[in-house]
């Protein structure tokens, strides 16, 4: 969706139409509509014609008396969600079925700089998800400046050294390097707009990053078999969960791609799953195994609710017809990991671990690196090479023998 600049009344009208066409309950539609109408009256009193997230937060603070956003009641959370729906709609973003409870707010004195940086990144053609990540990183820098009563004009070696010391106390090495890269990018933008003195970005020292700092977690074939065997496939929920986990285990699909799969993504005649990766935007075709074909057919015939939704995997019961989120899939796999009683101590235990496990198995089988990259949907083999660090047996096979010399 393209970003739109609509008057608040028109935006609310679009929002009401949107949720009415989705699978929202009558009670939810009434609740959101009521909040938005209060917002319109508040805007009229303030003589505000257009919506912004800051204005929405102001409305919640003054009208809904929501002072502490870290301690929200269930009713407060629903009010906040109504505001976030408007914000996503105004920015042309995909409307989420679930939001973080706490709004992401930066210091008031830096909000204009933050918004201008966001617009700058979007104009450069960067993806919305990338922009949001960079804004969240630079917000850490703004919070540091405010806590020390500093402005952007105060930026110098002393400020950068103090900020780096602050980061070292709170963040891992890889996270710190990511924040540093974003800070340097922001400073280049700020130089062009006169927010900082020229050549401020050159004050950033050499940035050291280690992509292999956090090694991926993998599980053995027996462990994965135990996870799959823990699923009760005689139930509707089990049929659904089994099909979802097979996509991660056998094809290495990311959680976000599994969530966004459509019923027309499955091409039965060619035994192919065809989709566009959410992360890379690449069109991908993956061959289905016989086991996966059976599992998907069983789910579609005997478990999937009757719904107009184009999504392949949808909720059952109270939320029938609504799509899944990555956090939903995380809960699903953890349920069966606990049930199978496999050891997850010191290891990551989400759906992505299944992706890493597949790459490790393919490597052990001698699959060429470009083929593994294609299966995982990587843009190049450099990303896939990270998984080589996991396979000790393979490293032993390619290690050079050190000649022994008698003394």
Over residues 43-57, the pLDDT tens digits come to: 888 888 888 888 888
Q: Does 131 reside within a domain?
A: yes
- The total of structural domains in the chain comes to 3
Is 65 catalytic? The answer is no
Judged by average pLDDT, the poorest of 25-29, 153-157, 309-313, 391-395 is 391-395
User: Which one from 134, 349, 355, 356 is the annotated catalytic residue?
Assistant: 355
Q: Does 406 reside within a domain?
A: no
Mean pLDDT of the chain: 79
Is 387 catalytic? The answer is yes
Q: Which of 71, 103, 135 is the last residue of a domain?
A: 103
Q: Which of 146, 181, 211 is the last residue of a domain?
A: 211
pLDDT digit string, tens, across residues 59-83: 887 776 665 555 566 667 778 888 8
User: Which one from 37, 212, 279, 338 is the annotated catalytic residue?
Assistant: 279
Burial 106-131, CB ≥16 within 10 A → b, else e:
beeebbebbeebbebbbeeeeebeeb
- State whether 95 and 15 are in the same domain: yes
- State whether 387 and 247 are in the same domain: yes
- State whether 227 and 371 are in the same domain: yes
CA 345, 350, 351, 357 dihedral sign is: negative
- State whether 171 and 316 are in the same domain: no
- State whether 83 and 128 are in the same domain: no
| CB 31 within 8 Å of CB 78 | yes
Tell me the two tokens of residue 135.
Answer: 């804004």
Is 254 catalytic? The answer is yes
Alpha-carbon span 299 to 313, nearest angstrom? 9
Find the helix or strand (DSSP H, E) in which 233 lies.
none
- State whether 71 and 177 are in the same domain: no
The residue that leads in pLDDT, 209 or 394, is 209
Is 356 catalytic? The answer is no
Look-up of token digits 């699959």: 367
| CB 219 within 8 Å of CB 342 | yes
Q: How far from each other are the two terminal CA atoms of the chain, in whole angstroms?
A: 73
Q: What is the pTM of this model?
A: 0.52
Is 279 catalytic? The answer is yes
- State whether 99 and 126 are in the same domain: no
Alpha-carbon span 131 to 149, nearest angstrom? 27
- State whether 135 and 28 are in the same domain: no
Domain range for 72 = 1-103
User: Which one from 315, 349, 356, 378 is the annotated catalytic residue?
Assistant: 378
CA 231, 306, 278, 139 dihedral sign is: negative
User: Which one from 134, 254, 260, 356 is the annotated catalytic residue?
Assistant: 254
Find the helix or strand (DSSP H, E) in which 316 lies.
none
Is 212 catalytic? The answer is no
């Amino acid at each position: 969706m393209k970003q739109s600049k609509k008057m608040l009344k028109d935006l609310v009208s679009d929002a009401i139409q949107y949720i009415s066409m989705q699978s929202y309950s009558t009670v939810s539609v009434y609740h959101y509509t009521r909040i938005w109408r209060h917002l319109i009256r508040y805007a009229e009193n303030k003589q505000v014609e257009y919506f912004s997230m800051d204005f929405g937060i102001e409305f919640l603070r003054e009208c809904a008396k929501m002072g502490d956003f870290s301690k929200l009641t269930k009713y407060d959370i629903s009010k906040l969600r109504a505001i976030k729906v408007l914000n996503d709609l105004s920015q042309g973003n995909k409307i989420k079925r679930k939001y973080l409870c706490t709004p992401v707010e930066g210091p008031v004195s830096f909000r204009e700089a933050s918004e201008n940086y966001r617009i700058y990144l979007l104009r450069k053609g960067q993806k919305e998800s990338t922009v949001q990540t960079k804004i969240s990183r630079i917000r850490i820098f703004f919070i540091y400046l405010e806590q020390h009563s500093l402005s952007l004009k105060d930026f110098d070696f002393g400020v950068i050294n103090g900020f780096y010391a602050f980061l070292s106390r709170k963040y891992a090495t890889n996270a710190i390097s990511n924040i540093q890269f974003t800070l340097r990018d922001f400073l280049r933008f700020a130089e062009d707009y006169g927010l900082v003195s020229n050549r401020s970005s050159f004050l950033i020292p050499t940035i050291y990053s280690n992509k292999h700092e956090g090694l991926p977690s993998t599980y053995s074939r027996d462990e994965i078999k135990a996870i799959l065997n823990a699923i009760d496939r005689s139930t509707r929920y089990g049929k659904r969960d089994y099909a979802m986990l097979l996509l991660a285990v056998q094809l290495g699909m990311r959680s976000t791609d599994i969530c966004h799969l459509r019923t027309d993504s499955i091409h039965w005649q060619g035994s192919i799953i065809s989709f566009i990766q959410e992360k890379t935007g690449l069109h991908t075709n993956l061959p289905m195994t016989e086991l996966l074909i059976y599992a998907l057919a069983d789910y579609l015939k005997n478990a999937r609710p009757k719904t107009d939704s184009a999504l392949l995997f949808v909720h059952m019961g109270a939320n029938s017809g609504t799509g899944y989120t990555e956090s939903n899939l995380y809960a699903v796999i953890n349920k069966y990991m606990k049930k199978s009683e496999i050891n997850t101590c010191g290891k990551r235990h989400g759906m992505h671990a299944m992706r890493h496990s597949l790459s490790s198995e393919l490597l052990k089988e001698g699959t060429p690196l470009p083929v593994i990259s294609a299966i995982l949907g990587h843009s190049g083999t450099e990303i896939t090479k990270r998984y080589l660090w996991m396979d000790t047996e393979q490293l032993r096979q390619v290690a050079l023998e050190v000649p022994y010399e008698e003394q």
